[in-house]
Amino acid sequence: MLKKTVLSTLFLLGSFVMVGVATPAQAQSMPPCVRSGCSGELCVRAGSGMNTSCVFQPEYACLQQASCEENANGMCAFTITPQVQACLDQANPSASPTASPSVSPSPSASPTPAVTPSPTVLIGDFNNDGRVNLLDHEILINSLFETGDSLQTDLNQDGKVNLLDYHILVLNLNP
């Protein structure tokens, strides 16, 4: 029960996004901006209690070069310099378009069969309702730390249901 409460709390904390503009009076009384998160990937107010699970992404190393400071809107944010942006671009390369050979259409004597769409696989949709939501979250929590072959909630197929599977599920949650 404790593990469910802790993971549910982590999930809820990770789901909140702080948006707003601070007034000058609020900005003066607010705590300073500090790095948080297991890899220093968050820029938050000191004492906010915001943290993350310990999953490393290549772009987190780039954020170590960025300053964590208050922006013009009074929010804590990383200052992205051209050097940091170059690092982020290398950590997350975008797909480059490639030229494909052009094909001329040719007349067809027979009718073309109707195309049937292939079903979309939603990673983490354990109850097959077409959405990855809190019901799927609960299914994973109930099987957390189980081991064995062919576990439905073992999303990374490593033979155990653990926090890596939880992280994959959270990344695929539908709004």
Q: At which residue do the structure tokens 């990770």 appear?
A: 14
Contact between 129 and 135 (Cβ < 8 Å): yes
Which segment of 15-29, 42-56, 65-79, 87-101 scores lowest on mean pLDDT?
15-29
Phi/psi region, residue 153 (left: phi>0; alpha: psi -120 to 50; beta: rest), is alpha
Residue 141 located in a structural domain:
yes
Residue 64 located in a structural domain:
yes
Residue 150 located in a structural domain:
yes
Nearest residue to 153 via CA among 168, 131, 173, 134: 168
Tell me the per-residue pLDDT of 45-71, one tens digit each, with 9 for 90 and over.
998 887 777 877 888 888 899 999 998
Looking at the structure of the chain, the number of domains it has is 2
Question: What is residue 2's predicted lDDT score, i.e. its pLDDT?
Answer: 40
Which segment of 2-6, 67-71, 79-83, 166-170 scores lowest on mean pLDDT?
2-6
Could you say which of 40, 75, 91 is where a domain stops?
A: 91
Question: What is residue 94's predicted lDDT score, i.e. its pLDDT?
Answer: 56
Residue 73 located in a structural domain:
yes
Tell me the pLDDT band of 89, cut-offs 50, 70 and 90.
Answer: confident
Q: Which residue has the higher pLDDT, 103 or 7?
A: 103
Q: At which residue do the structure tokens 């033979």 appear?
A: 159
Residue 152 located in a structural domain:
yes
User: Whole-prediction pTM value?
Assistant: 0.39
CA distance linking residue 164 with residue 166, whole number of Å: 5
Question: Average pLDDT of 5-29?
Answer: 44
- What DSSP character marks residue 36? E
Question: What is residue 39's predicted lDDT score, i.e. its pLDDT?
Answer: 83
Residue 163 located in a structural domain:
yes
The values of phi and psi at residue 68, to 5°, are -100, 110
Could you say which of 72, 91, 110 is where a domain stops?
A: 91
| Share of residues in the chain with pLDDT > 70 (%) | 67
Residue 16 located in a structural domain:
no
CA distance linking residue 99 with residue 6, whole number of Å: 49
Nearest residue to 155 via CA among 135, 134, 125: 125
Domain that holds residue 156: 134-170
Contact between 148 and 7 (Cβ < 8 Å): no
Question: What is residue 91's predicted lDDT score, i.e. its pLDDT?
Answer: 79
The values of phi and psi at residue 136, to 5°, are -70, -35
Residue 116 located in a structural domain:
no
Tell me the per-residue pLDDT of 102-161, one tens digit each, with 9 for 90 and over.
555 555 566 666 666 656 678 888 888 888 888 888 888 888 899 998 899 998 889 999
Question: What is residue 7's predicted lDDT score, i.e. its pLDDT?
Answer: 38
